[in-house]
């Protein structure tokens, strides 16, 4: 069930049986020469939507621009400053809480978002403590690629060149969603270099085509369908336990 494809009476009805919601959160940033700029948002929302469909869980709009300053050397990338992102997440969560949601689960597709999400949670908990809010209220975040069966499956699919940015697994999920965008070109070098990141200049010097450690020519839409299937299954279990806790 998707919030944006619902009416307000439908949301009112949903709240009678559940006060939990999933928020997919990603980024709008380069994913190498063959990956979509929206990859991190598309992966999170595809898995969240599938879990939502299977178990009748409400899925909020996708928070689809994240913390991506280090990718700004590549056209199309958009970034929020961490301070802006923390403020925006806080307002999203407080809006949902205003209507009675008490369990907010962020399904994340981008490593650079982890720290701003955690800081936003700390800010929201502090506001609630200072306001003497009394009901039980919890938030959690999870990177979709750390859901146990998804992590296991992409390790099996891509034992070499899975990578850490523009990964074969994340591209496969986007190709499942948008099969006309499947691109299995061989890139040079076949497996991208690895290293550390500071700013956009440093990033582009070290990783000239945008990839880190990956060989995304291995990504197939069919793999993406398998990854969505097992990730959605894990997600339903984890979210149901979180909502009930
Ligand atoms: Ni990514």
| Residue 106 CB contacts under 8 Å (≥ 6 apart), including other chains | 22, 23, 24, 25, 63, 117, 139, 140, 141, 142
- Residue 104, pLDDT above cutoff 90: yes
**E-assigned strands of 5-116?**
20-25, 103-108
Ligand 1 center to residue 121 CA distance, Å? 22
What pLDDT is recorded for position 134? 80
- Which domains, from first to last, does the chain contain? 3-244 (3.40.50.10310)
Ligand 1 center to residue 245 CA distance, Å? 30
Distance CA 140, CA 177 (A): 26
What pLDDT is recorded for position 157? 98
Ligand 1 center to residue 62 CA distance, Å? 15
What pLDDT is recorded for position 135? 85
How confident is the model over 42-66, as pLDDT tens digits? 999 999 999 999 999 999 999 999 9
Ligand 1 center to residue 41 CA distance, Å? 8
Ligand 1 center to residue 164 CA distance, Å? 8
Neighbours of ion ligand 1 (CB under 5 A): 39-40, 170
Ligand 1 center to residue 154 CA distance, Å? 14
- Residue 168, pLDDT above cutoff 90: yes
Ligand 1 center to residue 52 CA distance, Å? 22
Ligand 1 center to residue 145 CA distance, Å? 10
What is the average pLDDT value for the chain, to the nearest integer?
98
Distance CA 216, CA 98 (A): 42
Ligand 1 center to residue 167 CA distance, Å? 7
User: Which of 243, 186, 199, 210 lies closest to 74, judged by CA?
Assistant: 210
Model confidence, pTM: 0.98
Ligand 1 center to residue 133 CA distance, Å? 36
| Residue 99 CB contacts under 8 Å (≥ 6 apart), including other chains | 11, 15
- Residue 11, pLDDT above cutoff 90: yes
Token couple for 17: 């049986």
Ligand 1 center to residue 240 CA distance, Å? 26
Residue, of 102 and 245, whose pLDDT is higher: 102
Residue percentage of the chain with pLDDT more than 90: 98
Section 80-92 average pLDDT: 98
Collapsing DSSP to helix, strand or coil, 237 comes out as: helix
Collapsing DSSP to helix, strand or coil, 122 comes out as: helix
| CA–CA–CA angle 157, 162, 168 (5° rounding) | 75
Token couple for 122: 């700390």
Specify whether the backbone of 213 is left (phi greater than 0), alpha (psi in -120 to 50) or beta. Answer: left
Distance CA 121, CA 138 (A): 9
How confident is the model over 174-224, as pLDDT tens digits? 999 999 999 999 999 999 999 999 999 999 999 999 999 999 999 999 999
């Amino acid at each position: 069930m998707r919030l944006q494809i619902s009416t307000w009476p439908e949301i009112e009805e949903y709240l009678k049986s559940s006060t939990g919601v999933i928020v997919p959160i990603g980024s709008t940033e380069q994913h190498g020469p063959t990956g979509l700029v929206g990859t991190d948002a598309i992966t999170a929302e595809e898995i969240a939507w599938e879990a939502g469909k299977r178990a009748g869980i409400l899925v909020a709009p996708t928070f689809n621009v994240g913390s991506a300053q280090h990718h700004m050397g590549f056209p199309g990338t958009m970034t929020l400053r961490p301070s802006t992102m923390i403020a925006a997440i806080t307002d999203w969560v407080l809006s949902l809480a205003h209507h009675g949601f008490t369990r907010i689960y962020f399904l994340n597709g981008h490593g650079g978002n982890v720290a701003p999400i955690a800081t936003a949670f700390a800010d929201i908990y502090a506001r609630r403590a200072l306001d003497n809010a009394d009901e039980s209220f919890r938030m959690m975040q999870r990177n979709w690629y750390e859901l146990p069966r998804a992590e296991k499956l992409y390790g099996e699919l891509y034992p070499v060149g899975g990578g850490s940015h523009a990964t074969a697994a994340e591209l496969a999920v986007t190709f499942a969603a948008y099969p006309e965008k499947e691109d299995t070109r061989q890139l040079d070098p076949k497996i991208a270099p690895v290293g550390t990141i500071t700013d956009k200049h440093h990033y582009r010097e070290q990783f000239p085509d945008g990839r880190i450690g990956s060989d995304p020519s291995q990504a197939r839409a069919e793999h993406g369908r398998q990854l969505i299937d097992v990730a959605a299954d894990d997600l339903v279990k984890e979210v149901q336990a979180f909502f009930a806790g």
